[in-house]
Amino acid sequence: MKKPLPKYYDSAATTPVHEDVLKAMLPYFSELFGNASSNHIYGKQAKTAIDKARHQVANIINAEDNEVYFTSGATEAINWALKGYLEANPEKGNHIITVKTEHKAVLNTCEYLETKGYEVTYLDVDKNGLISLGQLKESIKPETSMISVMYVNNEIGVIQDIQKIGAIAKENGAAFFCDATQAIGKVPVNVVKENIDMLCLSAHKFNGPKGIGALYIKNGIKVEPLIHGGGQEKGLRAGTSNTPLIVGLGEACNVANQSLSEKIEELLKKKQELTNYFEENNIGLENFKYSTKAPHILSITLNNLEADEFLMMKNNEFIASTGSACNSSIIEDSHVLKATKRKNIRNVVRISISAHTTKE
């Protein structure tokens, strides 16, 4: 008899593809195989599917269809947003403001930009993982071109006050870029209401396929291409359109957007059950209790064990992580937890869940 797989609590790293998403994608691997750039029936079939997906992505963030550009994922979108905007708008200044707890895709891109003469201010966070809006305002200079703040932290689940940050950016003439990779399908996102100029997302974080994402660029915002070589994506992102994955991203947005409030309630219920498991059994305590947090990420400090040791002991029961999947091969303390000045960093485990994880 086949041994059952452990429960999967690492959805912040990746999620299984939803059955509706897989069903939508499959025809575009075979009979609907056309190149969307071709001006014949096969190409037009692909282009129609891509147009539909673009609308589905736009719909989940309240954007216009023509403001959505497909990428290989959030990392490419982050690089494109930061580098592309600064290169296209040198007259707006050479100063960037971001946060010490951002994803490494943002931090490493900012470090690269510093080697090219850009100045970067890295905002602190408090013990609750939140930036000070006062410090943000004080950090703005006449040459501040861009503010980059993530929506939901991928390690601790804390939500920044995006609407107020967007308003501050707008008041000061700076572009506001938001990494919403962990927000889509977990919390309502509205780029208009929240004054977001650019935003990235990645399908595999909300039950879509890996290798596909999108960058929202508000109409009127200028960016230079990151990838050259063709006229795809209005000439801003070259390369043959990956129709099956684009269709998958669109359908994942469609599925995520259906009954979002009910899905949030389901996630919160699961999260509370897991919190009770750790606290009632004297295993560990929930972190960041006094912050607004996404419903799918739970940060726990274990009482008597380091996270790696605990997860090894429990690997037949459930799968979780000690932090970002992007850092899993690097043995170092979490830069996010360091920034919050928490004790016993190596005792912290990240539990992350999905409304569509079939193995839970």
Is residue 298 within 8 A of residue 352, CB to CB? The reply is: yes
Burial, 295: exposed, middle or buried (Cβ in 10 Å; 0-12, 13-18, 19+)?
buried
Nearest residue to 256 (alpha-carbon basis) of 216, 207, 296 = 207
- Catalytic pick among 110, 200, 253, 326: 326
d(CA 106, CA 120) in angstroms, rounded, equals 11
Is residue 204 within 8 A of residue 210, CB to CB? The reply is: yes
Task: Extract the runs of DSSP E, i.e. beta strands, from 63-197.
Answer: 68-71, 95-99, 119-123, 144-148, 175-179
Question: Which residues neighbour 302 within 8 Å (Cβ) at sequence distance 6 or greater?
Answer: 283, 284, 310, 344, 347, 348, 349
200 noted as active-site residue: no
DSSP string, 118-145: -EEEEE---TTS---HHHHHHH--TTEE
Is residue 186 within 8 A of residue 295, CB to CB? The reply is: yes
Is residue 124 within 8 A of residue 131, CB to CB? The reply is: yes
Q: What share of the chain is helix, strand, coil (3-state, %, to 5)?
A: 40, 15, 45
Nearest residue to 328 (alpha-carbon basis) of 124, 205, 155, 150 = 155
Residue with tokens 């930036």: 131
Beta-strand pair 213-217/68-71: antiparallel
d(CA 195, CA 90) in angstroms, rounded, equals 22
d(CA 184, CA 11) in angstroms, rounded, equals 13
Any idea which residues carry the catalytic annotation?
Answer: 326
